[in-house]
Amino acid sequence: MRPLTFLTIEHEDQCPPSWLGEWWEERGVTLRRVRAHVHPDGVAAEMIPADVGDADALVVLGGEAGANDDADYPWLPATRELIARSVEGGIPFLGVCLGHQLATVALGGEVRRNPAGMATGLTPVALTPAGATDPLLGGCDGLRVVQWNSDIATRLPERAVQLATAPDGTPQAVRFAPWAYGVQFHPEATPEQVDSWWVDKPSAAEARERAAAASAAIHAARDELRTAWRPFAARFVDLARDFRAGRLDAPVTTGD
């Protein structure tokens, strides 16, 4: 059986696959990375493909953009189209933070600015009853993870199932289909990566004091975070492998 390939969509240099990419590659996964943004050193942005080709899963990562900020981030419409086409076509999917929000919009939901303000720092995962028995999220209840987001899903797509709830009551993890997930948190984020967010990102102005204070805690939790979220990465590989082998439900199309 050929090795798995994951197509990853990246929106900025500060949001690479990081730990998720490391753990997937340890399990023999090839990452086909699309860097959709213009790089600070002038390297040109890469085009969002129309489909995933022969990749076994689509992973859309985080970034400074809002899910509807098409004027400032012109690759977002194509990314949403790729997500919708992939999920409805039965391609395993994982959206991380912005990727989760883009999937929410692409599949018929709604994303808005969080009236409670920006979420940042270490946050416990609070699974719903559906999340407790989910093959990807089950076992994550109470685990701490990095959260950094200003936007939230205010209305989920029709078929979506909420798997975890953030402390402010908003969706923290969602199953869009048996093969498609979104997480509002950052299982991939290293402490150094998070430091780059509160130093460099425009959104950090809103939460710089809190983010700086959280930095020491995130660095101290490095081993805890790696131990907690490596199994999550492994389970997504298993999901993609099971889907390719026909051991997951067949896709349900919208009929549009």
Is residue 205 within a helix (H) or strand (E), and if so which, with residue range? none
Instruction: Return the minimum-mean-pLDDT range out of 16-25, 122-131, 203-212.
Output: 203-212
CB 36 within 8 A of CB 42: no
Query: pLDDT exceeding 70 applies to what percent of the chain?
Result: 88
Examine the pLDDT at 184 and tell me if it is beyond 50: yes
Average pLDDT, the chain: 90
pTM of the model: 0.92
Residue 242 has pLDDT above 60, yes or no: yes
- pLDDT at res. 2: 82
Q: What is the pLDDT of residue 252?
A: 42
219 pLDDT above the threshold of 90: yes
More confident residue, 43 or 176: 176
Report DSSP letters for 146-171, one per residue: EEEESEEEEE--TT-EEEEE-TTSSE
pLDDT of residue 253: 38
> pLDDT band at 45, cuts 50/70/90?
confident
Locate 247 and state its tokens. 């051991």
The amino acid sitting at 85 is: R
Examine the pLDDT at 256 and tell me if it is beyond 60.
no
Per mean pLDDT, which of 1-5, 161-165, 195-199 is the most reliable?
161-165
**Coil/strand/helix, residue 124:** strand
Q: What is the pLDDT of residue 204?
A: 56
Q: What would the pLDDT profile of 116-133 be if each residue is shown by its tens digit?
A: 888 888 999 999 999 999
**How much is the pLDDT for 206?**
59
Residue with tokens 């270490």: 122
CA atoms in the 13 A half-sphere facing the CB of 153: 35
131-138 average pLDDT score = 96
The residue assigned the tokens 């090839």 is 30
